[in-house]
Structure 1
């Protein structure tokens, strides 16, 4: 997700001027990426399923917490209202959750899959 944010900033200069090159929730993405790299603490498939679900839910909650903590400041930066910023961030958090649930499946061959720090599943 951070890569997508950076690509938007590089592609559209206005995006970078308004939103900067790093999402306000960048730290949430780093923690989520670390969880995906490890892919859970055991090789047990059921435990891995629940560990991934927990990591994805924590990502959504972390991004949503940015709205609580920074809505006022971001509203000034984005020339908007705190309510609109909060609604937008919650919308983004939900879409991010959906994206990682679909796009982060283990054994998918994708470089961002669950457990990408380990050899591909066979």
Structure 2
């Protein structure tokens, strides 16, 4: 059975979802932090794994921007809006069918997720976000 048939879809990302990917004026860019965070959210797992992903996002944004207010705002946003029980494209475990919730990946699921992630990483080894032609379109 393929990963898609079992419910896991190939990795996709929209950058920072409903949040800007980068600053319009200063050009500070934190989108790669969101991409790494999306890999964790796509894969899913336990509640503790989600917390670790959210804290890693906060730390990455803080290091990338030197802006603790922005880092905390993004952390609060993903904690409030990223739960697995929402019917959104950016929920925890969004690579799986809706309803997965918090659950550790079994050996087969982990192998599927690892394979699909490696396919994505082969096409984007530096985990860079795609810049839009008009940089201001994604920034504030």
The answer to whether the superposition gives a TM-score over 0.5 is: yes
Is the contact made by 1:2 and 1:26 (CA closer than 8 Å) also made in structure 2?
Answer: no
Structure 1 gaps of 5+ residues are 10-14, 41-47, 68-85
- Work out the CA distance in 1 between the residues paired with 2:98 and 2:31: 27
Higher alpha-carbon Rg: 1
Match of 1:24 in 2: 29
Distance 1:114 1:4, change over 3 A: same
Counterparts of residues 1-122 of structure 1 (less than 5 Å): 1=16, 4-5=19-20, 16=24, 18-20=25-27, 23-40=28-45, 48-67=46-65, 86=66, 89-121=67-99
Q: What is the TM-score with the length of structure 2 in the denominator? A: 0.54
- Work out the CA distance in 1 between the residues paired with 2:83 and 2:20: 21
Greater relative contact order (CA < 8 Å, ≥ 6 in sequence): 2
- Root-mean-square deviation over aligned CA pairs: 2.2
Structure whose residues are more often helix by fraction: 1
Shift of 1:4: 3.0
Q: Which runs of 4+ in 1 moved over 3 A?
A: none
**Number of aligned residue pairs:** 85
What are the superposed Cα offsets for residues 3-45 of structure 1, whole Å, 9 maximum, x if unpaired? Answer: 5326xx8xxxxx74x244xx511111100011000002xxxxx
